[in-house]
A and B are shown apart, each in its own frame.
Chain A
Amino acid sequence: MADFEPKITAFVCTWCTYAGADLTGTSRIKYASNVRVLRVPCTGRIDFMYVLQAFAQGADGIIVSGCHPADCHYTSGNLHARRRWVVFRKLLDFVGVDTRRIHFAWVSAAEGAKWADLVNSVVASVRELGPYDEYRQAIPSHIRPGGVAA
Chain B
Amino acid sequence: MSALHDAARGILESGAAAVVIGHGEGTATGARPLFVRDPAKAGELVFDERCVHNLAVYLLKPEVKALGRAALVGQPPTLRSVLQLAAEQQLKEGDVILLLPEPDGGVRQVESFADIERAVSEADAQLSPEERACLDEVAALPREERWRFWQQEFTRCLKCYACRAACPLCYCTQCIVDVNQPQWIPVPPHPLGNMDWHVVRAMHLAGRCIGCGACARACPVDIPLNLLNQVIEEEIAGQFDARAGLSASASYALSTFTTGDKDTFIR
- Taking beta carbons and an 8 Å cutoff, which residues of A are in contact with B? 48-49, 52-53, 56, 69-70, 76, 79-80, 82-98, 103-106, 118, 134-136, 138-140, 143
Contacts and interface: CB of A to CB of B under 8 A. Distances in A.
A87 B254 CA distance: 9
A138 B151 contact: yes
B253 A83 contact: yes
B139 interface: yes
Interface in B117-153: 138-139, 143-151
B139 A105 contact: no
Contacts of A48: 199, 203
Given A80-B256, A95-B195, A139-B190, 6 more contacts: A53-B184, A56-B192, A90-B231, A96-B146, A97-B147, A138-B195
A105 B138 CA distance: 29
Contact of B150 (A82, A88, A95): A95
Interface of B: 138-139, 143-151, 184, 186, 188, 190-193, 195-196, 198-200, 202-203, 206-207, 227-228, 231-232, 235-236, 239-240, 253-257, 259, 261-263, 265-267
Contacts of A89: 265
B147 A106 contact: no
Contacts of B196: 49, 52, 56
Nearest to A135: B192
A69 B192 CA distance: 34
Given A80-B254, A138-B195, A49 B143 contact: no
Residue with the greatest number of chain B CB neighbours at <10 A, chosen from A69, A83, A84? A83
A32 B152 CA distance: 37
A49 B150 contact: no
A96 B265 contact: no
